[in-house]
Structure 1
Amino acid sequence: MTQQTRESTAAEMAAGYAAGLDPRDVAEGVLSRIAEREPVLNAFYLHDPEQVRTDAAASAARWAAGTQLSAFDGVPVTVKENIPRAGHPVPAGTAIANPPLAASNAPITDRLLEAGLLILGSTTMPDWGMLSSGVSSLHGISRNAWDPSLTTGGSSAGAGAAAAAGYGPLHVGTDIGGSIRLPGTWAGLATLKPSAGLVPLHAPYMGRAAGPLTRTVADAQALMSVIARPDARDYSARPYPAMDWEQVLESPAGLRVGVQLDAGSGADVDPEILAAVQRAADVFASAGATIVPVAPFMSPAMLAEIDAFWRTRSWADYSALDDQARSQVLPYIARWCSGAKDYDGLATVRHYHRFAEVQQVTRAATEQFDLVLSPVAPMAAFAAEQEMPVNDPDLPMAHISFTLPYNMSGQPAATVNCGFTSDGRTIGLQVSGRTGADDDVLAACAWYETARGDAAPNWSLVQ
């Protein structure tokens, strides 16, 4: 098993299997990579190599008999630990004793198994998914594959580390305010926070979505072709027209593309990030797109009061624990959610109304555009040991003002690497579109991949 084969895209693996490549050989190559890097990166919560080998053998038998379950039968994939797998614990990143066992698979898990993909394991997340880092009371610290001294981002922390490290081509994360896209920018990945209700969830919640973290846009498209299928268990699902997950935009000529460089709230954007996003916009412009500035629309009050509502939600969970269990929650999370202890019902209702306001202003600001380009986060990757980029639990989340609006509006928002800081850290470009245009958004990202020049990650540098 060569490194080239181990790091093939999902489509390349599928073509290889059709031509006689053995899924067991691919599995062994990926398992070797995991064994090599996992002691440093700490991307997995659950990982059972023998089960992977058993599943790879079953895939090999199906290919030999011509009964493969899909074109991607035997392709390795990981799932975030909050995506249930029947019989496995779902601790949500916390060290609280006796985490619940999943009684059944999540819809996403079922879609992967129905297509014959090899689930390598469940990837890590921080406590309750409420940090944008890989710091967890249960797992310790998950680290960035480019530079283990840096964060991999969160809350899809282990998924970001696994994708960048080459633990196979496909990785599923979840996102309620940026938790797929933040690892995307800080690990150089192609990602997608899908339209609301496109990828079925086991536990729908306002703004929550699940989607791919991958090295290439083609792999994100391949994974969406598997998981973006209706499931009656998701009562928030919406009927969308069939999408083309193989298309690449021929040219952005004629598209109306918004460029937003100021979110209106949160931390100031690093000048190197602004410059990289502007260069990406220039690439679209040079190919014939009409570029229009987008004014800020996310106010500091909106950000603060949505943060306050999330604190209240977590304070309710924290308050229900006994003293022993509370002591197991990460101190940062305990301090953060305790900020909600004095909110009364009126305040909580006021905070809740901010979600609809953000949805309204986001749609109004972006509806005239085919695409909107922006930074993903205002800053590049920070220290792996640090819980948040602006590391004060008493402050609102200063890094999500570009990402959060699209969770609330339900619009698709993807990331693709668009440059590097002077010290080599990756910089992501967020590409958003109209609700239900997920395939068009990824097609535009696929085009940009071909046009971005030296902004492309050199994955051979990930040791």
Structure 2
Amino acid sequence: MTESLADLTATELITHYREKALSPVQVIEDVFARVETLEPTLCATYALDPDAARQAARESEYRWSRNDPAGPLDGVPVTVKENIATRGTPVPQGTAATDLIPATDDAPAAARLRAAGAVIFSKTTMPEYGMLSSGVSTFHPLTRNPWDPTRTAGGSSAGAAAAAAAGYGPIHLGTDIGGSIRLPAGWCGVVGLKPTHGRVAVGNPYPGRAIGPITRTAADAALALSVISGPDRRDPTSLPPIDDVYPEDLVLRGLRIGLLLDAGLGLPVDPSVAAAISAAAQALEDAGAIVEPIPPIITREMLDGLDRFWRVRSADDIAALPEERRAKVLPEIRRWVSTAGDLSPFDVFRGFSQMGAMAVAVDAAFATYDFILSPVAPITAFDAELAYPTDDPLKPFEHIAFTVPYNMSAHPAASVNCGWSGNLPIGLQIAGPRFADMPVLRLAAAVDSLQGEHRDWPTG
């Protein structure tokens, strides 16, 4: 075994543990060595806890020695995004304005990871209130992209995607309300799944909000999803556990796939992005799928309406803070919410209603297609120091027109690398019908297998 243990997938680790070829104690030490090497540049972790992780790894080693693993992820190193509560750790939400109170309980997804034996060795960073597609935060150091540290890792699951690409272990949990798993996964060249809404119970449910895995392979994403899915009383929207089996191959011949290359609004699609997405679609067509171009799904009114509603929601949250804490909020966020008072109640209601309008539009697009392909983002990773790709707080969502519809419609959608622009990854988004989480991941695996180029990971 010549590669670093930190780069092994979760499925590989479990096989090695079962065969007594590796110990979780060896693996976590390799992960910490990787973190020590790259973390001064990437700044992807929060509340790193080596002592607790080493103890958990020793306990896992003992269970494997008795052939009595706690669950499907016993001994696998994982991270959890900082806004997914873990007992004893504050949840700053990426901002210095938060009062740092330790969480009293694990959120449902974190609790399921622990029950399955996973070694949660760190939380990962996020930007200010999770409302940026970058790593810019007043609480965390600036998170950077492992492929090019001058570029953003994306957001809001910034640290999770950077950690996945850099080899901080195989499984990382993120959250997504408008693209916050898929955007950083796409810009960091890894797999990220926003599951069907409710597939993974969320401790603080909200329309569009989802928790999902960020990994290097679709198989690891499927394994993680099988562990963290299921209902919880803290989330009245949560669904029964997933009962689909991932390893079945997806038959490509005859699949009907819609190809969306133009969102109809927002930033224009970079030619390198369009070329990579088109090449992936062509590879699927060559393998027997039926691929057809489709028109834009959402409208300017839908995206602007959602922006107005989110501004008011965030303005209300910030207004509730004491003055001294409000002053700590990132200036770009304060500028964004400063216009909320100009909106009428009718503006806000119409903005809220656009979530339902998006859901109807997405559902109509699936009337004749099994999957919909598109770019994850219209551009490659932008400058790391920018809060927004537009560098304009009043135009914060011009890059999410491909991702946000599936949050509002509850459909599963994944990112998988499909090409390169220089040294920067390009993410392909695969969306599927509601509850088709595993088929989406199977198609992601198929896309990955059809790729002509697989580059070495940026591990130091």
Normalising by the smaller structure, the TM-score range is over 0.9
Contact 2:7 2:169 in 1 (8 A): yes
**Structure 2 equivalent of residue 215 of structure 1:** 216
Question: Which whole-Å CA distance do the structure 2 matches of 1:377 and 1:178 have between them?
Answer: 9
**Structure 2 equivalent of residue 417 of structure 1:** 417
> Following TM superposition, by how much is the alpha carbon of 1:292 offset from its aligned partner in structure 2, in angstroms?
1.2
Question: Which whole-Å CA distance do the structure 1 matches of 2:140 and 2:327 have between them?
Answer: 16
Contact 2:34 2:459 in 1 (8 A): no
Count of residues in Structure 1 that have an aligned counterpart in Structure 2: 459
Contact 1:111 1:226 in 2 (8 A): yes
Question: Which whole-Å CA distance do the structure 1 matches of 2:377 and 2:32 have between them?
Answer: 32
List per-residue Cα deviations over 1:157-183 (Å, max 9, x = no partner). Answer: 110111110000000000000000001
What is the percentage of aligned positions where both structures have the same residue? Answer: 47
Structure 2 unmatched ranges of 5 or more: none
Question: Which whole-Å CA distance do the structure 1 matches of 2:330 and 2:101 have between them?
Answer: 19
Question: Which whole-Å CA distance do the structure 1 matches of 2:159 and 2:6 have between them?
Answer: 19
**SS of aligned partner of 2:340:** coil
Question: Which whole-Å CA distance do the structure 2 matches of 1:75 and 1:266 have between them?
Answer: 40
Question: Which whole-Å CA distance do the structure 2 matches of 1:231 and 1:32 have between them?
Answer: 36
Contact 1:221 1:246 in 2 (8 A): no
**Structure 2 equivalent of residue 29 of structure 1:** 30
> Following TM superposition, by how much is the alpha carbon of 1:191 offset from its aligned partner in structure 2, in angstroms?
1.1
Question: Which whole-Å CA distance do the structure 2 matches of 1:338 and 1:457 have between them?
Answer: 44
> Following TM superposition, by how much is the alpha carbon of 1:396 offset from its aligned partner in structure 2, in angstroms?
4.5
- Equivalences for 1:141-220 in 2 at 5 Å? 141-220=142-221
- Equivalences for 1:64-213 in 2 at 5 Å? 64-96=65-97, 98-213=99-214
Question: Which whole-Å CA distance do the structure 2 matches of 1:78 and 1:447 have between them?
Answer: 26
**Structure 1 equivalent of residue 367 of structure 2:** 367
**Structure 2 equivalent of residue 458 of structure 1:** 456
Residue 435 (structure 1) aligned with residue 434 (structure 2): yes
> Following TM superposition, by how much is the alpha carbon of 1:233 offset from its aligned partner in structure 2, in angstroms?
2.3
Residue 295 (structure 1) aligned with residue 295 (structure 2): yes
List per-residue Cα deviations over 1:349-401 (Å, max 9, x = no partner). Answer: 11111110011011112231111110000100011111111110112410000
Amino acid at match of 1:23: P
Q: 1:71 to 1:362 in 2, by over 3 A?
A: closer
**SS of aligned partner of 2:392:** coil
Residue 342 (structure 1) aligned with residue 342 (structure 2): yes
Question: Which whole-Å CA distance do the structure 2 matches of 1:79 and 1:240 have between them?
Answer: 20
**SS of aligned partner of 2:391:** coil
> Following TM superposition, by how much is the alpha carbon of 1:240 offset from its aligned partner in structure 2, in angstroms?
6.5
Query: Which runs of structure 1 show a deviation greater than 4 angstroms over 4 or more consecutive aligned residues?
Result: none
Question: Which whole-Å CA distance do the structure 1 matches of 2:245 and 2:85 have between them?
Answer: 28
List per-residue Cα deviations over 1:132-188 (Å, max 9, x = no partner). Answer: 000100013001111111100000011011111000000000000000000111000
**Structure 2 equivalent of residue 260 of structure 1:** 260
Amino acid at match of 2:369: F
List per-residue Cα deviations over 1:212-257 (Å, max 9, x = no partner). Answer: 11111111111111111222321111347611133332x4111001
**SS of aligned partner of 1:93:** coil
**SS of aligned partner of 1:220:** helix
Contact 2:376 2:429 in 1 (8 A): yes
Residue 326 (structure 1) aligned with residue 326 (structure 2): yes
Contact 1:225 1:245 in 2 (8 A): no
Amino acid at match of 2:301: A
List per-residue Cα deviations over 1:104-139 (Å, max 9, x = no partner). Answer: 110001100000000011100011100000010001
**SS of aligned partner of 1:38:** helix
Contact 1:188 1:457 in 2 (8 A): no
Contact 1:224 1:245 in 2 (8 A): no
Question: Which whole-Å CA distance do the structure 1 matches of 2:408 and 2:101 have between them?
Answer: 29
**Structure 1 equivalent of residue 237 of structure 2:** 236
Question: Which whole-Å CA distance do the structure 1 matches of 2:426 and 2:182 have between them?
Answer: 11
Q: 1:241 to 1:30 in 2, by over 3 A?
A: closer
**Structure 1 equivalent of residue 446 of structure 2:** 447
Amino acid at match of 2:234: R
List per-residue Cα deviations over 1:42-93 (Å, max 9, x = no partner). Answer: 1011101111111111111111122210232000000000000112101101
- Equivalences for 1:53-64 in 2 at 5 Å? 53-64=54-65
Structure 1 unmatched ranges of 5 or more: none
Question: Which whole-Å CA distance do the structure 2 matches of 1:100 and 1:360 have between them?
Answer: 40
Amino acid at match of 2:342: D
List per-residue Cα deviations over 1:385-436 (Å, max 9, x = no partner). Answer: 1111111011241000000000011101011101001x22110000010000
Amino acid at match of 1:427: I
Contact 1:367 1:434 in 2 (8 A): no
Question: Which whole-Å CA distance do the structure 2 matches of 1:3 and 1:369 have between them?
Answer: 41
Residue 11 (structure 1) aligned with residue 33 (structure 2): no
Residue 227 (structure 1) aligned with residue 228 (structure 2): yes
